[in-house]
Amino acid sequence: MRVLVLDTSAFIMGFNPSGMGEVYTVEDVEKELIQGTTSDLRFQASKEKGGLRVREPSARSRKTVEGASGETGDRGQLSSADKSVVALALDLKESGEEPVIVSDDYAVQNLAEHLGLRYGSLANFGIAHKFRWIVYCPACHRRYSDGKECPVCGTDLRRRVLSKARVTKE
């Protein structure tokens, strides 16, 4: 059965999970929403009415997501909530559900594509290519899995595409 897994951007973009069947999210998404905003009120109302289930992913799925985000080079672009949303989708898929991650975040979509998870967006067209990124130091040319600053020379790290492949949309 198809279920939705909502990222913070879904609430910010005004997605209303009421009447959408089974809809899930994680605690970290609630923490990213600013209290008292329309997005937060929508989240709270959906949760109270029972239309939104807040569930935490397994440690195993978190580990899988952490490893995959390092492989794709997206680790430094993903928040804790982003990683938790993708990990929860992995858990739901493993339990026989057909999760669809609702997110406008390109890094989330890229990671989902690499993990074979379905995703949809609300305010953009979604990704056209899945990427593998490399984080590197433009001064000393060392490569890293993530980070903001080169631990050797102190230069701000940059990202560039290592490889890309066309995404086939369903």
| pLDDT at residue 103, rounded to an integer | 93
C-alpha span between 13 and 162 (Å, rounded): 31
| pLDDT at residue 13, rounded to an integer | 87
C-alpha span between 74 and 68 (Å, rounded): 9
Compute φ and ψ for 125, nearest 5 degrees: -85, -10
| pLDDT at residue 54, rounded to an integer | 95
DSSP 35: T
| pLDDT at residue 95, rounded to an integer | 96
Q: Is 131 helix (H, G, I), strand (E, B) or coil?
A: strand
C-beta neighbour count of 79 within 10 angstroms: 17
Digits of tens for pLDDT over the chain (170 positions)? 899 999 999 998 888 877 778 999 999 999 999 999 999 998 998 899 888 999 999 999 999 999 999 888 888 889 999 999 999 999 999 999 999 999 988 899 999 999 999 998 886 666 567 777 778 899 998 888 777 889 999 999 988 877 777 777 65
**Is the entire prediction scored with pTM above 0.85?**
no
C-alpha span between 19 and 93 (Å, rounded): 21
33 with 8: CB under 8 angstroms? Answer: yes
Specify the amino acid at residue 106: Y
Helices (H), the chain: 8-12, 27-32, 38-49, 59-72, 80-94, 106-114
